[in-house]
Amino acid sequence: MQIHFSIKLLVSFLLLFISPLFLSFSTAANRPQDLLRSSCAQARYPALCFQTLSNQVSPTAKPLELAQAAVKASFARTLTLSVYLKNTLKSQLTVGSKGNNRKRVALSDCVAQISDSVLELNRTLNELRKLQMGTFEWQMSNAQTWASTAITNGNACINGLNRSDAEEKMKVEVKRRVTEVSMFTSNALYFIIRLGDSRNPKPHSNSNN
């Protein structure tokens, strides 16, 4: 009986010692991902934000690194969209007749608008890579303007398609792709604004991300 009581006492003592230690390790293991999730919590599309950034940056990344990664992701997808639209327009011109030119106007406008978005996001990314303390606010204003323009271009593309009498299946697919890209760009704009508000961007770090 005494031996049984001693074993129970020993087990209880070990549990008291091990439980806080295990809890601290568990908390430490989860904390980095929690930090990244909290960074994405206020983004326009939080789930997409976390999915994108968790594969691109450290969970403890600074605001500058997050902004660069988000813009880079948006730029890559916008570039892919631009290529798709150009190829789609080319195929429409190949198989279509001259009488269908009016139906291709909206798609042609989309090509021009998304091509401009590629340029705007490239300018944004380059600006974030060369931030300087003396011109920080001006540069952040530029980055916000250019990213916002990319979003506006996407909206203009979709509005133009909605008003057009282009082939319905093509319209649906183009709008789906443009909307998806706009989601990435909206998240990127959030991180740009967040960086501007952080006032601790460490601009001397010229990242190549």
Q: What is the pLDDT of residues 172-196, one digit of tens each?
A: 999 999 999 999 999 999 999 999 9
pLDDT tens-digit map of 102-152: 678 999 999 999 999 999 999 999 999 999 999 999 999 999 999 999 999
98 is in which domain, residue-wise?
A: 62-198
Give how far Cα 18 sits from Cα of 8, 26, 124, Å.
15, 12, 50
For residue 15, being part of any structural domain is answered with no
CB atoms within 10 A of CB 95: 8
Average pLDDT over residues 17-22: 43
Residue 98 lies in a domain: yes
Q: How many whole angstroms separate alpha carbon 120 and alpha carbon 183?
A: 16
Mean pLDDT confidence for 88-99: 71
170 or 199, which is more confident: 170
**What CATH number does residue 189 fall under?**
1.20.140.40
Indicate whether 42 belongs to any domain.
Answer: no
Residue at 74 is within a domain: yes
- Is 141 contained in some domain? yes
- The pTM of this model reads 0.79
64, 203 Cβ separation under 8 angstroms: yes
Q: Is residue 71 part of a domain?
A: yes
Instruction: Please indicate, yes or no, if residue 35 is contained in any of the structural domains.
Output: no
Rounded Cα–Cα distance for residues 145 and 125 (Å): 12
- What is the count of structural domains for the chain? 1
pLDDT value at residue 45: 97
Helices (H), 96-203: 105-128, 136-163, 168-198
Confirm whether 73 is domain-assigned.
yes
